[in-house]
Structure 1
Amino acid sequence: MGKQILQEMCINQSDLQPRWRQWGEEVKNLDTIVVKRCLRPVDFDEIVTTEIHHFSDASTIGYGQCSYLRLIDRNQRVHCSLIMARARVTPIKPVTIPRLELMAALVSVRIRSALLEDLDITNFIEWFWTDTRVVLGYIGNESRHFHIFVANRIQQIRDHTEPYQWNYIRSADNPADMASRGATPMKLMNRKMWLDGPNFLWDSNVPFVPCQKEDQV
Structure 2
Amino acid sequence: MQGKALLRQITTEQEQSDWDVPLPEEKKMQWKLWKDSLLELEQLNIPRPYVSVSLSATKRREICIFSDASTMAIAYVAYLRVIDTEGQSHVGFLMGKSKLAPRPAHTVPRLELCAAVLAVEMADMITTELDIEIHAMNFYTDSKIVLGYIHNASRRFYTYVANRVTHIRKSTCPEQWHHISTDKNPADHGTRLVPAAALKQTNWFVGPSFLRKPETKETTQVETFELIEPDQDKEVRPQVTVCRTIVTRDSLGTHRFERFSSWKSLTRAIGKLICLARSSCRATNTDQRSNDHLEQAKVTIIRCVQQEVFKEEIQGLLKKEEISQHNSLKDLYAKQWKQVQSLADIFWKRWRQEYLVIFQPCKKWQDDKPNLQVGDVVLLKDSQAHRNEWPIGLIVGTDPSSDARVRKVEVRIVRQGIPKVYARPISEVVLLLSKG
TM-score category, normalised to shorter length: over 0.9
Aligned to 1:5: 6
1:185 and 2:186 aligned: no
**Cα separation, partners in 2 of 1:58 and 1:81, compared to 1, 3 Å:** same
Q: Is the 8 A contact 2:144 2:225 kept in 1?
A: no
Letter aligned with residue 206 of structure 1: T
For residues 44-81 of structure 1, what are the alpha-carbon distances to aligned partners after superposition, in whole Å with 9 as ceiling and x for unaligned?
88201101000000112101100000011011111101
Output the TM-score relative to the length of structure 1.
Answer: 0.93
Distance 1:182 1:99 in 2: 21
Please state whether the residue corresponding to 1:38 is helix, strand or coil.
coil
Deviates more, 1:176-185 or 1:123-132: 176-185
Distance 1:69 1:2 in 2: 28
Please state whether the residue corresponding to 1:187 is helix, strand or coil.
helix
Distance 1:211 1:77 in 2: 24
1:53 and 2:64 aligned: yes
Please state whether the residue corresponding to 1:172 is helix, strand or coil.
coil
For residues 48-87 of structure 1, the aligned pairs below 5 Å read 48-87=59-98
RMSD: 1.8
How far apart are 1:82 and its partner, in Å?
Answer: 1.1
Kindly indicate whether structure 1 or structure 2 has the higher relative contact order, using CA contacts under 8 Å at least 6 residues apart. Answer: 1
**Cα separation, partners in 2 of 1:196 and 1:31, compared to 1, 3 Å:** same
**Cα separation, partners in 2 of 1:163 and 1:12, compared to 1, 3 Å:** same
Distance 1:140 1:8 in 2: 37
Letter aligned with residue 226 of structure 2: E
For residues 118-174 of structure 1, what are the alpha-carbon distances to aligned partners after superposition, in whole Å with 9 as ceiling and x for unaligned?
111114211000001000000001221112111111111111100000000000100
The runs of at least 4 aligned residues of structure 1 exceeding 6 Å deviation read none
How far apart are 1:43 and its partner, in Å?
Answer: 7.4
How far apart are 1:3 and its partner, in Å?
Answer: 1.0
Please state whether the residue corresponding to 1:146 is helix, strand or coil.
coil
Aligned to 2:35: 24
Structure 1 alignment gaps of length 5 or more = none
Please state whether the residue corresponding to 2:40 is helix, strand or coil.
helix
Deviates more, 1:176-185 or 1:159-168: 176-185
1:196 and 2:196 aligned: no
Output the TM-score relative to the length of structure 2.
Answer: 0.47
For residues 7-156 of structure 1, the aligned pairs below 5 Å read 7-13=8-14, 15=24, 16-42=27-53, 46-156=57-167
Letter aligned with residue 142 of structure 2: D
**Cα separation, partners in 2 of 1:210 and 1:86, compared to 1, 3 Å:** farther
Letter aligned with residue 212 of structure 1: T
Q: Is the 8 A contact 1:50 1:72 kept in 2?
A: yes
Q: Is the 8 A contact 1:137 1:211 kept in 2?
A: no
Distance 1:180 1:28 in 2: 21
Letter aligned with residue 208 of structure 2: P
Please state whether the residue corresponding to 1:171 is helix, strand or coil.
coil
Distance 1:106 1:210 in 2: 21
Q: Is the 8 A contact 1:106 1:156 kept in 2?
A: yes
1:214 and 2:235 aligned: no
For residues 4-51 of structure 1, what are the alpha-carbon distances to aligned partners after superposition, in whole Å with 9 as ceiling and x for unaligned?
111112334474221111111111211110000111314788201101
Letter aligned with residue 121 of structure 1: I
Letter aligned with residue 11 of structure 2: C
Larger Rg: 1 or 2?
2
Aligned to 1:170: 181
Q: Percent identity?
A: 33
Deviates more, 1:94-103 or 1:202-211: 202-211
**Cα separation, partners in 2 of 1:210 and 1:61, compared to 1, 3 Å:** farther
Please state whether the residue corresponding to 1:176 is helix, strand or coil.
helix
Distance 2:223 2:167 in 1: 17
Letter aligned with residue 148 of structure 1: T
How far apart are 1:211 and its partner, in Å?
Answer: 4.6
**Cα separation, partners in 2 of 1:182 and 1:85, compared to 1, 3 Å:** farther
Distance 1:69 1:123 in 2: 9
Q: Is the 8 A contact 2:59 2:85 kept in 1?
A: yes
Deviates more, 1:101-110 or 1:6-15: 6-15
Distance 1:101 1:163 in 2: 16
Q: Is the 8 A contact 2:67 2:76 kept in 1?
A: yes
Letter aligned with residue 180 of structure 1: T
